[in-house]
Structure 1
Amino acid sequence: MYAAGAQAYFDIMSANAFGLGSPPEDPPNPGTLNFQRVLLEREVMEKNGDGAKPIWILEYGWNAAPESIPDSRLIWGRVTEEQQAQYTVRGITLARNNWPWAGVFSIWYFRQVGDIPPTNPEYYFRMVDADFAPRPVYFSVSAASKPQRVAGPGEYEETNPALTFVGAWLYQADTNAYGAQYISAADAISDTSAAETATLRFYGEQVDLIARREPGAGRLFVTLDGKAINGLPRAASGESYIELASGQTEWRATLPVARQLPRGEHTLEMRADGAVNLDGFTIAPLTATTPPWWLIGIFTALGFGCALGAFLSKPARRARGANE
């Protein structure tokens, strides 16, 4: 691939990292297919001066076929369901601690639609059965992923799991918005009196919101780590707020929230007052050499198809990729 001149035409290298019958700690070997074989691909990248690019693992996992399936049919090896659950989390933990270039981990697979019979070894990669009954690997990945619902530096859409909403918020489609959609507080679309709030958990030194500003828009009352935010205007009540009203409609407007924050996890609490539309947020990077927000993404559907992801490199809205 490099000899053919492909280096300038991709931003992210992709790889498959199946464990077959070995635990994730087994070292790479040119004559063996295992999880850490991806390190051999990484060596090729670095020898070609491509070490600044990340690798995304687009198929990852272990197969837990039962003993009733003969060894001759086990293309992907075999482990027990308990080992599958343990190895899947251990592999991601190993990468998080040792592979700073690793990005998304896409687990193969969450669920199949019923077209793969139980007599086929491929059936036993699943995290849940066709009827959504969870397997042990589902519970282990779900438990391990909960602390990762914190955004690190990057630019994100309003659908990121680090940003949660309470109350009558509504997603609306519009090609002017990032990802062709945004989210509106109920006051923007109805007369409901219920409070609409949102919470953002993040690591970083700076946080901004991305929103649609327009004439007649409302305000977002905000606190950071339970306190009013210095540098923002204050209401008579002493609450800090962000004004979304503008003389003209502005899509994807950047709204500064907080700067020069101390290292660590922060919580931004928001309460909508009037017509409020959110389209995303950005987090500025930490200055530490090894920031605590480096999280390997478990890019898999958890909870009836909700995609959960976190990225080591700056999360791009679109990225070109190359497959091995």
Structure 2
Amino acid sequence: MNRRGFLVLTAAAVAAGCARDRTAPPVPEEPVAPPRVLGYSTGASILWADDADVSRTMAAVRDGGATSVRIDISWRFAEPARGHYDWRPSDRVVDAARAAGLDVVATLTTTPAWAAIGFSDLAAAAPRNPQEYGAFAGVVADRYRGRVSTYEIWNEPNGRLFFWPNPDPVRYTAMLQSAFTAVTAADPDAVVVAGALGNTDTTDGRTDSNEFLTGMYAAGAAGSFHALSYHAYDYGTSLADAGLYPNSAVQQIIRMRQTMVEHGDAAARIWITEYGAPDTGVDADTQARLIVESAQQWGEVPYGGPFFVYTVRDGDSLSPDPEARFGVLDDAFVPKPVYGQLAALAAAGLPQRDIANRFDAAAPAELGEPWGPVFALPAGSGRQYAHGNLYSTASGWLTSPPAVADIARTTGLVPAGPFHDGYQDLLADGGFRVFSEPRFGTWAVVGAILDQWRPELGFPVTGEYEAPDGQRVVDFEFGRILWNPTDGAVVIRDR
């Protein structure tokens, strides 16, 4: 059974970075790159695995080159009745991890019915009283002081699947504040990680990760976490290459980074505490490529923290259900190709890709901080920075301002030349020019309409649209250009 399935079980199944705070370590003004950390996220099923399987799992994590393991500490299991504790499930997992020489990240999750909203028996029900959750977190930190280094506050609270009845950044922030105070009082050396936000858009029962983070800050989350965590699933595409798409994991991470900087948390890091690819939709070699490439690409993000692979072992290697096939080992502990490749990458020190080194050397200082890893394009490669994009092209190194870069990225094009006089040409058959001017916005003009543009028309004030008579139109400051397949492009001047 896997983590994601566990959290939607009924009760019957479960019954058988860097905030500034007086109790927290001081936060450096400028982030200092820590050693690269590769970890594994085990999922909830390890809590009821037998002792032999727990030991084998931890040995597999260690022998696979990882130095850290992320486990669940279930409030539901540990405090089934108020004030009555059962530490056996978590004790043996923590002890096995420490015996294997692993650093432990504990996710404090799942609510006992006595503490849940509506006294719900759903494991995913949110806590009724955030202070009760915080008190439990403090008890855990006191018990595992010196054995658990990091506490992650809940799992994917931006989705109903794990935060019933609905994602609520205000309630979650109250939980975070209470837990931070209690954990750091019990163990001043502990790291508190907020979020574990999932990659999703906003729809019924789910909230976009940055929208949720913005809600957290509005509710007072600043000062109550050392780092933020995120689950960067993209499925079928590596972390960097998925960054071409507007709501990919990388683009959500970049938006969260912007939000954190705006709220004074530039020194706080973003941890990926789950990334994986099941070998159902892809073969085992593709699974290996996706995970290994993504683990290496994450090292190109200067504010990036540890990278945790989900998960160690398949739940059922014969199942057609992707949730059962995320493991780097099959259900009999036989390694898949990804396991050895990740071990080799870790043994080499998780080196940065050569292409990222070249971008680092070429990037002008005015672009600011790199916000994402280098992504491949059909005619070159690119990278997103705080103040624009840098591209490696057949014409050499070229930059684009942010608004132009957004269009270039989503169209998969590279610049054909520099940005000048308010526009930049992108390399595309038929012509592709992006105009960007603060008064009028940023608009692409292409093909036959672009061929007829002259400076006296001024800047475009719209993108291309279809008129009621079926013609394609772009409006400019001093006129418009219309196109239809019979007459081609026609210029109409306002004066």
Where is the strand percentage greater, Structure 1 or Structure 2? Answer: 1
TM-score (norm. length: structure 1)? 0.38
TM-score (norm. length: structure 2)? 0.26
Where is the helix percentage greater, Structure 1 or Structure 2? Answer: 2
| Higher RCO (CA 8 Å, separation ≥ 6 residues) | 1
